[in-house]
Amino acid sequence: MSSFLKIKSFAKCATRTKEEKYKKIGNKPRLKTTEAHSKASKDYVLRNLENNYCRYCKRSRINSYVCLQHYIKDMSRRSTVLRVNKNKIGGWKMALKGDALNKLTSELITKLEDQNYKCYYSNIPLVIGENLSLDHIYPSSLHPELLTESSNMVFVDKRINNLKSNMSPKDFYNFMLQLKEGIAYLENNEDFKKYLED
């Protein structure tokens, strides 16, 4: 094919409308259906929010947008992400989807109720949307095989979770014992007590 014919063919393709392109392939333009679906989805969410329902279902909301089921589902989804490629930005993938994720969610809701909405490590009351967080007892960085096991997950206060970081249970326990000694030291430290008066 000569270069003149190539240019002519390219010019023809560039001037065709979206409808003509779809007609040639034998498909209808999908733009309208996508817009309709998006509008219906937005209407459903807005209707639910107006009626104090979860944005995804007809259960009552526990915060501004979602019910307990969807809140814990989102939390468990974020807590079970696998690092696929350490050298690549965005090299993550979901470890659980569908029924497996739903099963984990229901197990975690039961666990939260069993814990009586108290932190597993400190007995601090847990408030959804404020200090509630999910922790792996054996850190997923050291034990990736336990990443999706509900028996390895507990609900804890966010600050305690940050404090624990990726410590093993034994290391964390020893660290807490050191903190206990530190508190006893501070109680007898007159110099430090003056800062508590502010």
- Let me know whether 162 and 118 are in one domain: yes
- Let me know whether 144 and 99 are in one domain: yes
- Let me know whether 77 and 128 are in one domain: yes
Residue 49 CB neighbour total at 10 angstroms: 14
Q: Domain limits at 195?
A: 170-198
Supply the pTM of this predicted model.
Answer: 0.69
Dihedral-angle region of residue 84 (phi above 0 means left; psi in -120 to 50 means alpha; beta otherwise): alpha
Dihedral-angle region of residue 165 (phi above 0 means left; psi in -120 to 50 means alpha; beta otherwise): left
- Let me know whether 85 and 158 are in one domain: yes
Instruction: Judge whether 15 lies within some domain.
Output: yes
Nearest CA-CA partner of 104 in 79, 132, 122: 79
- Let me know whether 183 and 160 are in one domain: no
Nearest CA-CA partner of 163 in 121, 104, 125: 121
Provide the residue-wise pLDDT of the chain in tens; the chain has 198 residues.
Answer: 555 444 445 455 555 555 554 454 455 444 445 565 566 677 766 776 677 788 788 888 887 788 888 889 888 888 887 655 555 555 566 677 788 888 999 999 999 999 999 999 999 999 988 899 999 999 988 888 888 899 999 999 999 999 999 999 999 999 999 998 998 888 888 888 888 886
- Let me know whether 75 and 118 are in one domain: yes
- Let me know whether 82 and 160 are in one domain: yes
